């Protein structure tokens, strides 16, 4: 049974100087444990739905898998009695990936104990350097056509069904080279929404995709550029601002990075933009 993404709660609203009680729809947030070869790898807080895509995208972003064939199975854990297992996904790997799973788990655990998720300056610089091995820069800068990007926020917003009811979710979407919207995913975490989109494409063997664009509904952090780079999606559009480290990684990787894409305007940070190091 699919887990609910929306729950109804009671709320008191102040309107015209008086408090009124009414029901309100809010987005669900629950933990998802991702296991690798039956061993816990990570726990992410997410909005239920598209959990397998989230796990697949997460594994690609972590460098644990590179293509769909690396996954033998990817499924929810079940013991027949405890619904908590619906919040657990286990991945088993094939070939050399399976052989190296143990060292991968040990290394990821060590990294998570020393590297902050906010990508502080020193850790972020080190991350950029290490990324050049697993995800080298693109061969050439992307061609950016402003008119194709200006319509993306509207198309993304139209597809945000849960946001319409709760106002509490981020969204990510991937567009092809012709501007067609291929997939939209919503989640309480912007990184999860990106992982769900990437996982969708990975599981359908649609990666890498020449000329694709990732659109996110909020700001663009280093981690979002990192996820796009590892998925070989060369251009990113954000409704809000990018961070300095996101710009640096995009520039070093010959990616397109656009921010404040909304209401008929946009800023191009890469490849034509400037920023302070």
What's 105's domain CATH number?
A: 3.10.20.10
Q: Is the domain of 157 the same as that of 86?
A: no
* pTM, two decimal places: 0.85
DSSP assigned state of 115: S
* Mean pLDDT across the chain: 85
pLDDT for 95: 82
pLDDT for 126: 55
Q: Is the domain of 194 the same as that of 253?
A: yes
In the chain, which residues have pLDDT < 50?
Answer: 114-124, 275-277
Indicate whether 109 belongs to any domain.
yes
What percent of the chain clears pLDDT 90, i.e. is strictly above it?
56
Calpha distance 121→133 (Å, rounded)? 20
Calpha distance 188→193 (Å, rounded)? 8
Q: Is the domain of 106 the same as that of 170?
A: no
Please state whether beta strands 88-93 and 30-36 pair in parallel, antiparallel, or not at all (unpaired): parallel
Q: Of 103, 120, 137, which residue sits at a domain end?
A: 120
Q: Which two tokens mark 258?
A: 């656009």
197 is catalytic: no
Measure CA 59 to chain center.
11
What's 241's domain CATH number? 3.40.140.10
Helix (H) or strand (E) holding 111: helix 101-114
pLDDT tens readout for residues 38-47: 998 999 999 9
Q: Is the domain of 38 the same as that of 104?
A: yes
Q: Among 77, 120, 197, 220, which one carries the catalytic annotation?
A: 120
Question: What spatial distance separates the first Cα and last Cα of the chain, rounded to whole Å?
Answer: 49
DSSP assigned state of 114: H
Range of the domain at 173: 146-270
pLDDT for 185: 94
């Amino acid at each position: 049974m699919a887990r609910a993404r929306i729950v109804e709660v009671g709320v008191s609203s102040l309107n015209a100087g008086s408090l009124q009680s009414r029901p309100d729809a809010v987005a669900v947030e629950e933990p998802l444990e991702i296991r690798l070869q039956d061993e816990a790898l990570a726990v992410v807080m997410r909005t239920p739905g598209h959990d397998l895509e989230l796990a697949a995208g997460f594994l690609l972003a972590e460098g644990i898998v590179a293509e769909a064939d690396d996954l033998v199975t990817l499924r929810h854990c079940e013991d027949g009695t405890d619904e908590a297992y619906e919040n657990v996904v286990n991945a088993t790997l094939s070939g050399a990936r399976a052989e190296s799973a143990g060292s991968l788990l040990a290394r990821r655990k060590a990294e998570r104990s020393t590297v902050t998720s906010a990508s502080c300056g020193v850790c972020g610089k080190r991350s950029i350097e290490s990324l050049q091995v697993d995800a080298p820069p693109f061969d050439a800068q992307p061609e950016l056509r402003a008119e194709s990007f200006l319509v993306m926020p509207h198309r993304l917003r139209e597809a945000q069904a849960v946001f319409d009811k709760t106002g509490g979710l981020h969204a990510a979407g991937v567009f092809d080279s012709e501007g067609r919207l291929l997939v939209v995913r919503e989640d309480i975490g912007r990184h999860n929404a990106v992982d769900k989109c990437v996982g969708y494409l990975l599981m359908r063997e649609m990666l890498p995709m020449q000329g694709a664009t990732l659109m996110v509904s909020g700001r663009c952090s280093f981690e979002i550029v990192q996820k796009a780079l590892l998925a070989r999606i060369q251009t990113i559009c954000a409704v809000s601002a990018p961070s300095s480290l996101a710009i640096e990684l995009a520039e070093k990787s010959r990616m397109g990075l656009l921010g404040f894409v909304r209401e008929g305007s946009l800023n191009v940070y890469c490849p034509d933009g400037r920023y302070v190091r």
